[in-house]
């Protein structure tokens, strides 16, 4: 039985994966590192900023010390907010989905995004009050597909609710995210915003939604056979 829902953020609620890809590529280019869109989607999507920069620097045989990576993260964050202020794209039905599920279950977010980016978007959606715990990049030391983030979200939910990992439905779009949710012992619903159904099934997704607008309490009950 589902007792809580945990949303991923980028690529699920906010249509900004292209922004993160472009910013990462441009900043790495300034550091003398070329990264293609294909490489980003194949290997980096699902990582947090630290994971992306550390991996790219290491593979280019460049210094990936903490001070340098922190500076790159800060540079990317500043540019992200410039892009977000100019026009943040929210997926159709995202706010309605959050409100509908919040009327039934406690909600949390587990994302590799920075907390200010998440808060900014939720306020734009007028949905901050519907979301409980937020686990962001600042809270973790290991990025997806490691389950650390989802387990931290579970711990936060447990401070107020009687919930176990098997009671949590995760809504994800990335392969690393689905793998992370399953490694945490949770149920994974994947939305076809980023990868194909075959790819997401192979990663371990339990149920698939073509669009976010499909995900309602009734759809969850039907898909998981709990009607």
If pLDDT is split at 50, 70 and 90, which confidence band does 166 have? Answer: very high
What are the distances in angstroms from CA 44 to CA 25, 87, 181, 185? Answer: 11, 24, 17, 23
Q: Is the confidence at residue 94, as pLDDT, over 60?
A: yes
Q: Is the confidence at residue 227, as pLDDT, over 60?
A: no
pTM of this prediction?
0.88
Residue 44, pLDDT score: 86
Whether omega before 19 lies within 30 degrees of 0, making that bond cis, reads no
**CA–CA separation, 205 vs 177, rounded Å?**
10
Identify the CA nearest to 170 among candidates 227, 119, 107, 115.
Answer: 107
The average pLDDT across 203-215 equals: 96
If pLDDT is split at 50, 70 and 90, which confidence band does 12 have? Answer: very high
If pLDDT is split at 50, 70 and 90, which confidence band does 42 have? Answer: confident
Residue 87, pLDDT score: 79
Q: Is the confidence at residue 46, as pLDDT, over 80?
A: no
Asked if residues 35 and 59 have their Cβ atoms less than 8 Å apart, the reply is no
Q: What is the CA radius of gyration of the chain?
A: 17
Domains of the chain plus CATH, in order, are 4-15+89-223 (3.40.50.1000), 17-87 (1.10.150)
What are the distances in angstroms from CA 106 to CA 159, 189, 205, 214? Answer: 12, 16, 21, 19
Asked if residues 151 and 181 have their Cβ atoms less than 8 Å apart, the reply is no
Question: pLDDT averaged over the chain?
Answer: 94
């Amino acid at each position: 039985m589902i007792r809580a829902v945990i949303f991923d953020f980028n690529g699920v609620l906010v249509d900004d994966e292209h922004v993160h890809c472009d910013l990462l590529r441009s900043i790495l280019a300034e550091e003398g590192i070329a990264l293609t869109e294909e490489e980003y989607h194949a290997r980096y999507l699902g990582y947090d900023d630290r994971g992306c920069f550390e991996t790219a620097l290491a593979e280019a045989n460049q210094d990936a010390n903490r001070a340098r990576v922190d500076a790159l993260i800060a540079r990317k964050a500043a540019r992200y907010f410039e892009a977000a202020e100019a026009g943040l794209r929210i997926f159709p039905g995202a706010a309605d989905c959050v409100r509908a599920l919040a009327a039934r279950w406690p909600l949390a977010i587990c994302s590799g995004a920075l907390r200010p980016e998440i808060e900014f978007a939720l306020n734009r959606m007028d949905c901050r009050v519907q979301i409980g715990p937020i686990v962001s990049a600042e809270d973790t030391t290991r990025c997806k597909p490691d389950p650390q983030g989802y387990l931290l979200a579970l711990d936060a939910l447990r401070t107020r609710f009687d919930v176990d990992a098997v009671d949590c439905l995760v809504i994800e779009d990335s392969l690393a995210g689905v793998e992370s949710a399953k490694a945490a012992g949770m149920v994974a619903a994947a939305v076809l915003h980023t990868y194909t159904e075959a790819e997401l099934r192979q990663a371990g997704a339990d149920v698939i939604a073509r669009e976010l607008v499909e995900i309602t309490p009734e759809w969850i009950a039907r898909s998981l056979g709990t009607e």
